[in-house]
Amino acid sequence: MAATVVDPDECLSPHWEMRQKDHVKLVWHKPFEGVERVRALAWTCDCRAVVYELLQAGGQAFIRKTTQTEPTPKVKETHRWPIEEARRVWHALLLGEMR
């Protein structure tokens, strides 16, 4: 079966830029199990193998990274930040300044 080619102009969600040479490395952890209610604030397009989500829970925010692998996706999360700080990290991640 041939791979599907997606035109980025047809995607509704943003794409993350390639990581910059001098990027800041984020620390990724196993997902925290204790949070029941999580609100998605932003997300990247799922046409790529790695999808990022900016999530809010309990007055704080964090980034979830999902690597779409078969048969089970691999999910990692950052630690929690105040929402405004998380938005700054999210913006830097999209620009490739953090990963």
Q: What is the pLDDT of residues 30-45, one digit of tens each?
A: 998 876 789 999 999 9
Phi/psi for 60 (5° steps) reads -125, 170
User: Tell me, what's the pLDDT at 3?
Assistant: 45
Answer whether residue 1 shows pLDDT above 60.
Answer: no
Sketch the domain layout of the chain as residue ranges: 26-94
* pLDDT digits 0-9 by tens, 41-57: 999 999 999 999 999 99
In this prediction the pTM is 0.86
Say how far apart CA 96 and CA 40 lie, in whole Å: 21
DSSP letter, residue 98: B
User: What average pLDDT does range 79-93 have in this prediction?
Assistant: 97
50 against 6, higher pLDDT: 50
